[in-house]
Amino acid sequence: MKMPVEQIDRIKGLGYTEAEAHFLYIVAVHSGYFTLRQFCTFTRAARGKRSFLFAQKLLQSGQASRHDYMGVGSVFHLFSRTVYGQMEKDNLRNRRRDNRESQRLSNKASGATGSRRTHRTRQ
C-alpha cells in the first residue's frame, strides 16, 4: 500500500511516532477499528508499555474510544476528526461514532437513566 508521506507527517505532528502515524493511517483508511494486538504486530513490538502508552495517548486525547469485546479483549474505534482531517478524509463514514455510543453519550449528557416507558396513552 502506497502511503502519502505528507499526510503521515501531519499525523506525526499530533504527537505520534512514525510507526504510530503509519498504523493510524491504515486504520483510518480501512475500518477505523483496531486491536492492540494488531498494533503490536504492525510495529513488531511485544505487548506491554509501548502498546499501553499508545492506547492511553489515543484515549486521553479523545481521538478514539475503547469497547470491551465479549470479555476477551478490547476493540478501539478511531473517530477523531482531527486525525482524519490530517489525511483530508474527515468525512469518511469510518470516522463517525457508532450509533450506540452516540446514544449512550447523549443519554449521559441529558441525565437519562435508560428506562423506557412501557405504556401509551390512547386518544
Inside any domain, residue 95: yes
User: What are the pLDDT tens digits along the chain (123 aa)?
Assistant: 667 888 889 889 888 999 999 999 998 888 889 999 999 999 999 989 999 999 999 999 988 999 888 877 889 998 887 777 776 555 544 444 554 454 444 444 445 444 444 445 555
Which domain CATH number covers 17? 1.10.10.10
Inside any domain, residue 46: yes
Per the structure, the count of domains in the chain is 1
What cell was used for 71?
470479555
C-beta atoms surrounding 8 within 10 Å = 19
Inside any domain, residue 42: yes
Inside any domain, residue 34: yes
pTM above 0.75, yes or no: no
What cell was used for 115?
428506562
